[in-house]
Amino acid sequence: MLADLRLARRTLTRAPGFTTVALLTLALGIGATTAIFSVVYGVLLKPLPFAEPERLVSLMHRGPGMNIPLMNQGPATYFTYVDHQRVFQDIGAWDTKEVSIVGRGDPERVQGLAVSAATLPLLRVHPALGRLFTAEEDAPGAALRTILTYGYWQRRFGGAPDVVGKPIEIGGRVAEVVGVLPPSFRFLRTDPAVILPLQLDPADAARGMSFGFQALGRLKPGVTLAQANADVARMIPMLPHAFDVLRLEPNVRPLADDVIGNVGQLLWVLLAAVGVVLLIACANVANLLLIRAEGRQQEFALRAALGASRGRVARAVLAEGVLLALGAGALALVLAHGAILLLRWMAPAQLPRVDEIAIDPTVLLFTGAISVSAGLLSGVVTLLRFGAPNAAALRDGRRATSDGPGRQRTRHALVVAEVAMALVLLVVSGLMIRTFVALRHVDPGFVRPAQVQTFRVAVAPGVIDDDAQLASTHQQIAERLAAVPGVTSVGLASHITMDGEDNGNPLYVDGVPVAEGTMPPLRRFKSVAPAFFETMGIRLVAGRPITWSDVHERRLVAIVSETLAREYWKDPARAIGQRVRSSPDNPWREIVGVTGDERDDGLDRPPTAIVYWPLLNDSYPERTMAYAVRSSRVGTAGFVRELQHAVWSVNPNLPVAAAQTLAEIESRSMAQTSFAMVMLAGAATVALLLGVVGIYGVLAYVAAQRTREIGLRMALGAQAGAVRRQFLRHGLVLTGAGIAVGVVASLALTRVLSALLFGVGPMDPLTYGAMSAALAAVALLATWIPARRASRIDPVVALRAEG
């Protein structure tokens, strides 16, 4: 083997042009595949950074009674499972929350992670400093304790080793720091600054239904997911009878599924796409090796005549392919490293575990494996055509190296395959481009988002306790913000459009009966203050907006979205005067207005049915409000800082958090689509380039091989145009065959893209036609160049050269 590799090295060194082209071609395919595999491995396949992660599970439910695919945990379900389970070593609860921290510089709003006392120990997390929570600290009413994450400890406390025991004011309460987590701590898709005790109250289990937090567990050794689901199914009938309406079903699943979310399909599609690019690169190199081998038949025959076995010659051929691929693999790692940095920069917010994407030992092993495989695949084609040395090559080199029909068929098949695979990628990228364009034309429900600055202001109970005073504070903040130069309007609501909030609450409608044992459909609830719709640019379809008088006088009014109004009353105008409420225990509220629809769940989702309550209400109380400020100064230097000072002029202990423009929020809702579009378009461009190079290479070689024939024909009177047409026809036949095969393959494969598409079907004829025409046009150019060169052959020179 070493002798074969040394010989291959010397042989390739003597052909630097061929070697360089083959190396770059393979490196491009292997590098792209390595980069995307590093993403797939880092996000989907790499084990979670906890001890024995395969035994960690997420405890979820399905709610067929409410048509809810995934439901969290609540006090009743959680305490029932903790007390009666048989298959878990332990069960922990957790929830994310934004918390305000004051007293150390400017007030700030950070993400917090609230956990039960069992959560961190079952993950086998050990603190870098201090300790974890005790069961007593997790009890309701206990003094507040907190654990800092490593990054926040470094940023806010400068990594001070004496931080344990220090007080910190969180959410209006003083908390003692009891520990610091290690820098390696990562928890699912969260990025917390502080860890807090969840402090669940067992008494809440009998106070109705709620599903406000999540749970995870560690299975006992040998327990399967099926057994865990069966155990939860056994405990569900133990819940209070009020839960019967939900018809809960268990959904115990690997904890990694909570990390991956819905990005798995996208990443597998991207890996398949770059895998196609690698196959095209291998086909190109196989064609190069095939052409090169045709000129080496005398060498193969001479080696056979001197005693080399067929296997010895075959190893020499394969060694060249493998050596080329290994060299390309080394170059591919350099390309992949740069691509990974670009991917991490471009990655959408929905892509988890981005910081774990890297070239680690597993990725290196993968690169080596596909490099060797690519080399073998490229060399096998040559071996199949030239594995048996032809003794005739020693008698007549010209005739033995002639372009036989079998060899033509092999080269042509490779070119057809390249064109077909390139078309598949072009169609896939075209569908994603059509999707992106369709999303850009969707009415989001608001206007001129680049002129709207948003941020959140939370008022902790310890800062302002009285609800009426809370509403007055928000009104004062809105008035101070409106006084900032350049501001035209200010509105506030519990949530801004597309900010990730997906609450679902039952809505009772007067005159619409609810069958016994069932609940009404879930709707999105928002608390709003005056001028919110005006600031966002959400049109008023019927009725009137909410006023500050409605808020302060606690009038029983509400506003609904157009989608909700049409669902119940067909005509939005007929919704005015109708009554709704959030539960049978709350009073009816009169609908006084109907607004245009918001795409609250993203541009690719249907308009959300929303109910808007006044800021002060008993149905949907909120202490954290999102402000929207419309101004032509959005994006200019110092504008956000001026808004912060306007808020602090009302109360200096109110942190301003999550400052972002409405345009940024809208763009983030399309981030996954745009990421997929860019990645697939890049893969399709490379595939198109490689496919065109393949067509050009074959026709250029044919022209070179047929120089004498063409010279003779032209000497006998053949016209240059006829020669050009012959070569063009040859190239277009190959292209047409490849397009035909590619269309059939695309029709079969693009169905898997349905979940990623919007506004276009997987068999969209416009996309197929446009991509086929584009490929044909580029292929025509690649065919024209060798055809033009062949038609300019000087008959005298050609015949002399052959003589």
Of 728, 648, 632, which Cα lies nearest the Cα of 481?
648
Least confident range from 446-450, 562-566, 618-622, 779-783: namely 618-622
CB atoms within 10 A of CB 525: 22
3-class state of residue 478 by DSSP: helix
197 and 138 in contact (C-beta within 8 Å)?
yes
Name the pLDDT band for 59 (thresholds 50, 70, 90).
Answer: very high
Distance CA 84, CA 627 (A): 45
Residue position matching structure tokens 């010279």:
711
The model's pLDDT over 695-738, given as tens digits with 9 standing for 90+, comes to 777 777 666 666 666 666 666 667 777 777 877 888 888 889 99
Write down the mean pLDDT value for the chain. Answer: 86
Distance CA 144, CA 169 (A): 10
The model's pLDDT over 546-604, given as tens digits with 9 standing for 90+, comes to 999 999 999 999 999 999 999 999 999 999 999 999 888 889 999 999 999 999 988 88
**708 or 144, which is more confident?**
144
Distance CA 153, CA 725 (A): 74
Give the pLDDT confidence score for residue 349 in this predicted structure: 72
Average pLDDT of the segment spanning 163-177:
91
Does the pLDDT of residue 292 top 50, yes or no? yes
Give the pLDDT confidence score for residue 782 in this predicted structure: 82
Give the pLDDT confidence score for residue 225 in this predicted structure: 95
Distance CA 726, CA 613 (A): 75
Run of H or E residues at 558: strand 557-561
Distance CA 535, CA 196 (A): 36
The model's pLDDT over 371-414, given as tens digits with 9 standing for 90+, comes to 988 888 877 777 766 555 555 555 554 444 445 555 577 778 88
359 and 38 in contact (C-beta within 8 Å)?
yes
DSSP state of 43: I
Least confident range from 362-366, 398-402, 422-426: namely 398-402
Q: Is 174 left (phi over 0), alpha (psi -120 to 50) or beta?
A: beta
Q: What distance lies between CA 473 and its chain's CA centroid?
A: 40
Average pLDDT of the segment spanning 238-244:
88
Of 276, 189, 350, 448, which Cα lies nearest the Cα of 673?
350
Does the pLDDT of residue 209 top 60, yes or no? yes
100 and 172 in contact (C-beta within 8 Å)?
yes
Q: Give me the amino acid identity at 78.
A: Y
Give the pLDDT confidence score for residue 21 in this predicted structure: 83
Q: Which residues contact 361 (CB under 8 A, 6 or more apart)?
A: none
Q: Is the pTM of this model over 0.75?
A: yes
Does the pLDDT of residue 353 top 60, yes or no? yes
74 and 203 in contact (C-beta within 8 Å)?
no
Give the pLDDT confidence score for residue 351 in this predicted structure: 80
Distance CA 709, CA 715 (A): 10
**257 or 196, which is more confident?**
196
**67 or 136, which is more confident?**
136
Name the pLDDT band for 460 (thresholds 50, 70, 90).
Answer: confident
Listing DSSP states for 479-548 in one string gives HHHHTSTTEEEEEEESS-TTSS----EE-EETT----TT--PPEEEEEEE-TTHHHHHT--EEEE----H
Name the pLDDT band for 17 (thresholds 50, 70, 90).
Answer: confident
In 85-213, at which residue ranges do the beta strands (DSSP E only) sit?
88-102, 108-115, 129-130, 145-148, 167-170, 173-180, 194-197
Q: What percent of the chain has pLDDT over 90?
A: 47
